[in-house]
């Protein structure tokens, strides 16, 4: 922590009660800092969030409406009423929802309530991509070549695209959250992209203005954190690289960026500050840039709010950005100058999403039957808004938690991240932890050779942990042996066994895994076990108990952590992004097991199934209709994303089993083919 920050006089000028107009991890994050500052907190919540963690953490809670955000978290009126009802003097909006809504901040101002964010002018001018680009250019910030005008129609889009030169990107001026953009490589794609971007912009943002700009190939996304006060001071707090994205949404972020030279960093920082000053920016904000292979950087957009990934900046600067936001909103001066900002060490954030990487990262929902994050320490931080037993619903963002690690350098930081992901145990909701492990252990990540296309290039079909070659098969077989030995030891202790027929913790087994048979011998030693496999003896020590989800131990002296789940006869082991199912059986049983019938998976070619729980928005086919492979069949909306389901092959629809407006379960049949 910068020493100057401690000089803030506690409580001076600062609010006594604030309302947090958000939910989930960010609401909890804001409440933590407010509490540290001695400020009372008010949570708002929808009917779906009665038992949510942010409501439990706050001093008071106000119910603001039904589950859909449009009837609760997005209703400015309700938030203002909640402030008046509880006497909150200021509102922290978090990110998403009303955080960048100028009208909301005006309403608060009219009611005499402070907005913990930038002024109305900055919100308005930076909230619109076309306008913000113009302002950026006037402030001498590098911008991406483009039309910078609202496109009237598809023909105008094509004319502009030709003038810019393909490839181009069509973008919604009101866009956000990776929505409302399309890449086009030729005229036809440009026309289609224009229609799609326009449609998505209209339905997501109620504003169908679209513009076009050059598409930068193989770019990196690097953004600058800025912070301004009401006295004209603006500083930048280093950068964050957020190049690892899927569907234009961030997955892993880090600070600093491996790619920037001190010169590029300084000129990006200075341009970001120039832009912030041009709109009289008074809060924490982020200026996003796209950087090409030659380190040319171009302004993308400015996010006039706290960013999801702000914690990596907090780690490297030692600052609490929420505290600073609250203080500058109360009129305090920035307690340090640009020259006093120090960035030290390395921080990485991984976003843990309820989604299925094996199904093209589609959102998942369900109850968190197990939710056990790694222990927090100086190098490990977990920001979350859920707890064991909580439900992840279709109504809100699918992010379950953020895991942030810190190290003196990138290597240590990555190792901590890999370790902490291995200890993060979630069951009940499909999640992306194995995928994140694979990403942070990928050689391209270690080398820093990443771009916004990396995930699409390396994982074109998504990521299925069960289909990965196990990271270290010998280790897993050995662990399986020790796990089963522990199970047998426990079984032997069960009382009242028939004399003469007592169970023995036998030692020679066959491990069946990945269609292969691996004979092993597991023998106890004074401090653990030795496992003979393939002519080699491995030493294992562990304090693992049957039922523990994490198997921690030393394998030949090396520390490891493997996640274990028992499913009847099968042990499911997860390690470094891969997953393997195994059975540990006496040899004779293993032989007989080969004769067991295998259940065939049903043939699904004849059905169109909903790939996720969601709402059936549109259906493009009726019974009797012939369909062509690739043709759009239905649109399912979940987690604010529209997902188009297409025909896998030519055929004829025989039955329609769902209607527009239906709530669909995962794998529910929508159409049947002849």
Q: What residues line the site for ligand ADP (CB under 6 A)?
A: 95-96, 144, 169, 175-178, 205, 213-216, 219, 221, 245, 248-250, 288, 290, 300-301, 303, 307-309, 397, 452
Name which of ligand ADP, Mg ion, none residue 290 binds, using a CB cut-off of 5 to 8 Å depending on partner kind.
Answer: ligand ADP
Q: Which residues contact 403 (CB under 8 A, 6 or more apart)?
A: 349, 350, 352, 373, 374, 380, 381, 382, 417, 420, 421, 424
Q: Which of 215, 259 has the CB closer to ligand ADP?
A: 215
Annotation says 301 is catalytic: yes
The nearest distance, CB 413 to ligand ADP, in angstroms, is 19
Cβ-based burial of 192 (10 A; exposed 0-12, middle 13-18, buried ≥19) = middle
Q: Which residues contact 51 (CB under 8 A, 6 or more apart)?
A: 390
Q: How many CB atoms lie within 10 A of CB 104?
A: 25
Q: Which of 142, 248 has the CB closer to ligand ADP?
A: 248
Footprint of Mg ion on residues 274-293 (CB under 5 A)? 288
The nearest distance, CB 225 to Mg ion, in angstroms, is 14
Closest Cα to residue 329, out of 583, 71, 91?
91
Q: Which of 250, 485 has the CB closer to Mg ion?
A: 250
Q: Which residues contact 498 (CB under 8 A, 6 or more apart)?
A: none
Name which of ligand ADP, Mg ion, none residue 530 binds, using a CB cut-off of 5 to 8 Å depending on partner kind.
Answer: none
> With DSSP H G I counted as helix, E B as strand and the rest as coil, what are the percentages for the chain, rounded to 5?
30, 30, 40
Name which of ligand ADP, Mg ion, none residue 571 binds, using a CB cut-off of 5 to 8 Å depending on partner kind.
Answer: none
The nearest distance, CB 453 to ligand ADP, in angstroms, is 9
Q: How many residues does the chain have?
A: 674
| Residue 402 token pair | 């953020």
Name which of ligand ADP, Mg ion, none residue 169 binds, using a CB cut-off of 5 to 8 Å depending on partner kind.
Answer: ligand ADP
Name which of Mg ion, ligand ADP, none residue 154 binds, using a CB cut-off of 5 to 8 Å depending on partner kind.
Answer: none
Place of tokens 């030949």: 556
Q: Report how far residue 534's alpha carbon sits from residue 341's, in angstroms, rounded to the nearest whole number.
A: 56
The nearest distance, CB 301 to ligand ADP, in angstroms, is 5
Q: Which of 287, 512 has the CB closer to ligand ADP?
A: 287
Residue nearest to ligand ADP as judged by C-beta position: 176
DSSP string for residues in 354-374: SEEGGGTTEE--EE-SEEEPP
The nearest distance, CB 169 to Mg ion, in angstroms, is 13
Number of residues that bind Mg ion (CB under 5 A): 1
The nearest distance, CB 282 to Mg ion, in angstroms, is 21
The nearest distance, CB 283 to ligand ADP, in angstroms, is 14
Q: Which of 229, 288 has the CB closer to ligand ADP?
A: 288
Q: How many CB atoms lie within 10 A of CB 620?
A: 16
Q: Which of 306, 664 has the CB closer to ligand ADP?
A: 306
> Which residue among 213, 239, 288, 301 is the active-site one?
301
Q: Which of 301, 323 has the CB closer to ligand ADP?
A: 301
Q: Report how far residue 608's alpha carbon sits from residue 601's, in angstroms, rounded to the nearest whole number.
A: 16
Q: Report how far residue 621's alpha carbon sits from residue 634's, in angstroms, rounded to the nearest whole number.
A: 8
Cβ-based burial of 377 (10 A; exposed 0-12, middle 13-18, buried ≥19) = exposed
Q: In what order do the strands lie in the sheet with 607-609?
A: 607-609, 669-673, 651-656, 626-627
Q: Report how far residue 54's alpha carbon sits from residue 32's, in angstroms, rounded to the nearest whole number.
A: 10
Name which of ligand ADP, Mg ion, none residue 49 binds, using a CB cut-off of 5 to 8 Å depending on partner kind.
Answer: none
Name which of ligand ADP, Mg ion, none residue 285 binds, using a CB cut-off of 5 to 8 Å depending on partner kind.
Answer: none
Q: Report how far residue 351's alpha carbon sits from residue 101's, in angstroms, rounded to the nearest whole number.
A: 25
Contact residues: Mg ion, CB under 5 A: 288
**Which residues participate in catalysis according to the annotation?**
301
């Amino acid at each position: 922590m910068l020493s100057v920050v401690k000089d803030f006089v506690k409580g001076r000028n600062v609010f006594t009660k604030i309302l947090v107009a958000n939910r989930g991890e960010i609401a909890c994050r804001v409440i933590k800092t407010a509490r540290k500052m001695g400020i009372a907190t008010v949570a708002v919540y929808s009917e779906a969030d009665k038992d949510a963690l942010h409501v439990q953490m706050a001093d008071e809670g106000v119910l603001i409406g039904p589950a859909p955000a449009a009837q609760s978290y997005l209703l400015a009126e309700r938030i203002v009423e909640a402030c008046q009802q509880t006497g909150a003097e200021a509102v922290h909006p978090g990110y998403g929802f009303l955080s960048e809504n100028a009208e909301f901040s005006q309403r608060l101002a009219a009611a005499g309530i402070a907005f913990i964010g930038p002024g109305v002018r900055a919100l308005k001018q930076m909230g619109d991509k076309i306008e913000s680009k113009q302002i950026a250019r006037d402030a001498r910030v590098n911008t991406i070549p483009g039309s910078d005008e609202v496109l009237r129609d598809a023909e105008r889009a094509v004319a502009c695209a030709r003038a810019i030169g393909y490839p181009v990107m069509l973008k919604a001026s009101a866009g956000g959250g990776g929505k409302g953009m399309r890449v086009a490589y030729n005229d036809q794609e440009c026309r289609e992209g224009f229609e799609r971007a326009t449609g998505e912009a209209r339905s997501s943002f109620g504003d169908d203005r679209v513009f076009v700009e050059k598409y930068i190939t193989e770019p990196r996304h690097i953004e600058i954190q800025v912070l301004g006060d009401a006295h004209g001071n603006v500083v930048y707090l280093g950068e964050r690289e957020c190049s690892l994205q899927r569907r234009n949404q961030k997955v892993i972020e880090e600070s600093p960026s491996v790619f920037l030279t001190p010169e590029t960093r300084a000129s990006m920082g200075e341009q970001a500050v120039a832009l912030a000053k041009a709109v009289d920016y008074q809060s924490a904000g982020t200026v996003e840039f796209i950087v090409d292979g030659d380190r040319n950087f171009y302004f993308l957009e400015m996010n006039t709010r706290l960013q999801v990934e702000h914690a990596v900046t907090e780690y490297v600067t030692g600052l609490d950005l929420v505290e600073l936001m609250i203080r500058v909103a109360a009129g305090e001066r920035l307690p340090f100058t640009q020259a006093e900002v120090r960035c030290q060490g390395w921080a990485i954030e991984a976003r843990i999403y309820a989604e299925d990487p094996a199904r093209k990262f589609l959102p998942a929902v369900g109850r968190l039957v197990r939710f056990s994050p790694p222990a927090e320490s100086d190098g490990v931080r977990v920001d979350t808004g859920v707890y064991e037993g909580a439900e992840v619903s279709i109504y809100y963002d699918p992010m379950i938690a953020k895991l942030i690690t810190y190290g003196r350098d990138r290597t240590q930081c990555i190792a901590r991240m890999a370790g902490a992901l291995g200890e993060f145990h979630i069951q009940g909701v499909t999640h992306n932890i194995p995928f994140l492990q694979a990403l942070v252990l990928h050689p391209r990540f270690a080398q820093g050779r990443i771009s916004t296309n990396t995930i699409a290039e390396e994982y074109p079909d998504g990521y299925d942990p069960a289909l990965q070659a196990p990271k270290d098969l010998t280790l897993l077989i050995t662990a399986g042996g020790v796990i089963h030995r522990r199970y047998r030891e426990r079984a032997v202790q069960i009382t009242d066994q028939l004399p003469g027929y007592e169970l023995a913790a036998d030692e020679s087994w066959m491990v069946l895994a990945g269609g292969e048979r691996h004979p092993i011998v597991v023998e106890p030693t004074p401090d653990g076990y030795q496992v003979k496999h393939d002519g080699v003896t491995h030493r294992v020590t562990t304090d693992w108990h049957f039922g523990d989800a994490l198997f921690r131990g030393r394998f030949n002296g090396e520390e490891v952590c493997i996640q274990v789940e028992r499913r009847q006869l099968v042990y499911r082991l997860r390690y470094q992004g891969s997953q393997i199912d195994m059975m540990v059986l006496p040899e004779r049983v293993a032989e007989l097991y080969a004769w067991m019938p295998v259940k065939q998976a049903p043939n699904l070619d004849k059905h169109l199934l909903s790939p996720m729980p969601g709402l059936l928005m549109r259906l493009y086919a009726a019974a009797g209709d012939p369909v062509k492979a690739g043709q759009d069949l239905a649109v399912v909306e979940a987690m604010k994303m529209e997902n188009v389901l297409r025909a896998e092959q030519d055929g004829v629809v025989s039955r329609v089993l769902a209607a527009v407006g239906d709530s669909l379960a995962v794998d529910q049949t929508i159409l049947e083919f002849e």
